[in-house]
Structure 1
Amino acid sequence: MSQSASVLRRNGFTFKQFFVAHDRCAMKIGTDAILLGAWAPIARVKRILDIGTGSGLLALMLAQRTEETVMIDAVELDADAAAQAVENVAESPWAERVQVHAADVQQWLKEENSRYDLIISNPPYYQQGVECATPQREQARYTTTLDHTTLLNCAASAITEDGFFCVVLPEDIGNAFTELALSMGWHLRLRTDVAETELRPPHRVLMAFSPRAGECYSDRLIIRGPEQQYSEGYTALTQAFYLFM
């Protein structure tokens, strides 16, 4: 996806209501995170946890979408990324509602007694393979420091009974993640398969898991129409954020 229309300031991304700098983050802003932040269910949410916040994008998107009383904790292991998230939050309209924590989420949760109605993560998903240019990028891309079992356990320890844990993953890895989650007692409640066009197979999947059993609602999102314009569904989902919509 071309982001040129939104990149109005150097080393960052300008949205309708906030700016996110990402030059000190290993993983840059991309479509995956924007989809997840716009898609995650927020009905009756009072507290939100963003695991691996990076630049703070998801936390800020959810701050924009929720009421003033909703508080958001954003946890990031990498010190440089966490510092940048702090700056991004401070310059946003929601500085008093988003708290960034530079910490290992496993250790941080052991010291927290809070429960969250919504936990969100754009998690690492690659297995260890080709070496990355920096240790920071490897940490952000690979599951070595936060494997999926650990991530699911962290979410389980902090979710409310009726809460949702939301992730975005490549379609094939998402299927394996779902099998793992179900084996650990989670229930898949929402799933959206994302395809670039109507004729292409899904390449990403958005999923919401809950400790509580219930019906699973599934649908499909197409990003671009026949003439490469953004689809009605994608526009409806993201137009509150993109400047060019």
Structure 2
Amino acid sequence: MAKGPFHFKAFSVEQDGAAMKVGMDGIVLGSTTCVDGAQLVMDVGAGNGYVGIMLLQRMAKGGHLIGVELEPEAARQCAMNYATQPFEGHSADAWPGAIQDYAESHPEHLGQVDLMVSNPPFFRDKPKSPIAARNLARHDDTLQMVDLVKAAGLLLKPGGRLCTIWPYDRLEEWQSWSEGGGFSISRTLHITTMAHLPCKRFVAEWTRRPCANAEEKTEWLTLEGKATLDFTENYLRYIQPYLRGT
């Protein structure tokens, strides 16, 4: 994706100050996450803020978005993009810091969040970039699975949902955290780039117990047909509200 502003159909975001630009993982997460009933939403590791703004576009009026971002320059850019989001009846704030510290500093939000999303840093024991901000965005030194589960357990209300996107090779590891964390797995979306390729990512939705319906949905999503940007009909129904040219 380009380093300059990224223009969605209904909004634009500046991204020169964030180490990670608008990309496939965030677009998949933002477009496939269900926002039904969500009024207080948190985006953990918000980057430039575009995933949360994608959610605001579909949320009922009156929603409030909190973007938590540790890297200072990305947090500043997130705040700027939130300030220019065009969706009336919504509000959004960027909080510069670690999700591990958020609950202690915001006790009023304990057990109050309807939806938490995260496109977390997921590289572990991999070669690192000389750019510190890029390492924060890509490597799990500062945000590991256990940190995300603990934060969600404190902040989500009963029936609240945690939605995340991960590399496919961490599927079993991530699912193993749900039971001890007080969650039920409510949806797993297996993602392939093209039909002949193995799964590359998965989107996991967990629901905070106790919850009314703990039935798990398993779905599959192929992004492209036989060529790059030849989006499948199934993927188009998610991204058409967002991406220009679709």
TM bin, normalised by shorter chain, reads over 0.9
Kindly indicate whether residue 68 of structure 2 is the aligned counterpart of residue 75 of structure 1: yes
Cα deviations across residues 36-83 of structure 1 (Å, max 9, x unaligned)? 011111111111011111000111111111122111111111110011
Q: Which residue of 2 aligns with 1:223?
A: 223
Flag the 1:225–1:103 CA change in 2: closer, same or farther, 3 A: same
Using the alignment, how far apart are the partners of 1:236 and 1:149 within structure 2? 33
**Aligned-partner SS, 1:202:** coil
1:123 equivalent in structure 2: 120
Give the match for residue 232 of structure 1: 233
1:242 partnered with 2:239: no
* Contact 1:18–1:92, Cα closer than 8 Å, also in 2: yes
> Does the 8 Å CA contact 1:51/1:119 hold for their aligned counterparts?
yes
Contact 1:109 1:158 in 2 (8 A): yes
Identity over the aligned pairs, expressed in percent? 25
Q: Number of aligned residue pairs: give it.
A: 238
Q: Which stretch has the larger CA shift, 180-189 or 54-63? A: 180-189
Counterpart selection for 1:100 from 82, 94, 116 = 94
Q: Deviations over 1:138-194 (max 9, x none)?
A: 111111111110111011100010111000011111331111233333211011101
Shift of 1:106: 1.7
SS at match of 1:100: strand
Whole-Å separation in 1 of the counterparts to 2:22 and 2:4: 10
Aligned partner of 1:163 in structure 2 is 160
Work out the CA distance in 1 between the residues paired with 2:12 and 2:227.
30
Structure 1, unaligned runs of 5 or more: none
Distance in 1, Cα, partners of 2:103 & 2:172: 27
Gaps of 5+ in 2: none
Asked if structure 2 preserves the Cα contact closer than 8 Å seen for 1:15 and 1:243, the reply is yes
CA drift of 1:128 comes to 3.1
Where does structure 1 differ by over 3 angstroms across 4 or more consecutive aligned residues? Answer: none
Task: Tell me the TM-score normalised to structure 1 length.
Answer: 0.92
RMSD between superposed Cα atoms in Å: 1.6
Does 91-100 or 112-121 show the bigger shift? 91-100
